[in-house]
Amino acid sequence: MSKETALQALSIWNLENASLELIAERENQVFRVDDHLTQTSWALRIHRTGLRTKSEIRSELQWMGVLANAGLSTAAPLTAYNGALCEEINGQIVDMQAWLSGDTLATRASEEIYHSLGRAMAQLHTVSDVWTPPPGFDRPSWDLDGLLGEEPVWDRFWENPFLDKEQQLLLQQFRASATQVLREKNQTLDLGLIHADLVSENVLIKGDQLHFIDFDDSGYGYRLFDLATVILRLRRAPAHEAFTSALIDGYLSNRSIDLKLLDLFLALRACTYVGWIISRVDEASGVERCARFIANGCTHVNHWLESIAHVPLAMDSTLKN
């Protein structure tokens, strides 16, 4: 069915004579489309049913087009013959973007590259702040409710069924404490459009240029959350301290940000994966990944809670578990 959907999409985008190759099958299916007549390549995405609405996908593509026009290297969308940014085919939403190639961030990791990444992230945030989204713009919100509310973007991490009693109590305590802190600091935090998933496989490097791909999780959120997403993954690298410093220095060279709550956002980012895996635990290696996410989440939560242990927090008795 997916190959049939992809072939139908080619006609809608006037690419009937192009070739198709399935490249990735994770949250969405991604096909490489090669138009041999124009020597141009495109990425055709078939979105997982129910993951994003058509309005959300259209909004994602609108924002990516703005970023591309502002000089950031993102996969600019290709409109269909009728001018639409995305179409529904056989019950699935499909879109077409420019194909970007290059080495993944992990294979080219260096202090210089991470400094450039920090600068590019700051530029992304600045460009987004001066853009006025059109009516109907619709993206997820990685804000207080999206991270810690009753219906977070990536499920209720404190209710992951693989948590033992001690872990469950720890994450419930973290949720209450983090909610209190964010409520107190919310007005002073930098909040706006973010990529929300700039992990190594979503940053491609070609020459000295950085390409940002996979905006599927993008939306409104804390800019510290965007930085924490990169830094959390960096913890696996032997040179993570140097790379993290380079990332932050690069960001600060282009935009200011208050880093006092960075450890909190590292814990929040780690906990989102504990929620994300709940609906995917039956997939290949799901149980192992779940155990790893829980261990990592609890480590970062403990670190943050210990760092604020001397600061009294008024727990919100109205917060439901």
Cα Dmax for the chain: 67
pLDDT tens, 245-293?
A: 999 999 999 999 999 999 999 999 999 999 999 999 998 899 999 999 9
Determine the Cα–Cα distance for residues 114 and 240; give it in Å rounded to an integer: 10
Q: Which band of pLDDT confidence, cut at 50, 70 and 90, is reported for residue 48?
A: confident
Determine the Cα–Cα distance for residues 193 and 128; give it in Å rounded to an integer: 6
Q: Is 89 helix (H, G, I), strand (E, B) or coil?
A: strand
The DSSP 8-state label assigned to residue 54 in this structure reads: H
Average per-residue pLDDT for the chain: 92
Q: Which band of pLDDT confidence, cut at 50, 70 and 90, is reported for residue 237?
A: confident
Determine the Cα–Cα distance for residues 10 and 263; give it in Å rounded to an integer: 46
Q: Which band of pLDDT confidence, cut at 50, 70 and 90, is reported for residue 37?
A: confident
Percent of the chain past pLDDT 70, that is, above it, reads 96
pLDDT at 30 over 80: yes
Q: Which band of pLDDT confidence, cut at 50, 70 and 90, is reported for residue 320?
A: very low
pLDDT at 124 over 60: yes
Determine the Cα–Cα distance for residues 172 and 214; give it in Å rounded to an integer: 31
Q: Which band of pLDDT confidence, cut at 50, 70 and 90, is reported for residue 316?
A: very low
Structural domains of the chain ordered from first start: 2-99 (3.30.200.20), 104-307 (3.90.1200.10)
Question: How confident is the model over 30-54, as a mean pLDDT?
Answer: 90
pLDDT at 284: 87
Neighbour count for residue 35 (Cβ, 10 Å): 17
pLDDT at 2: 81
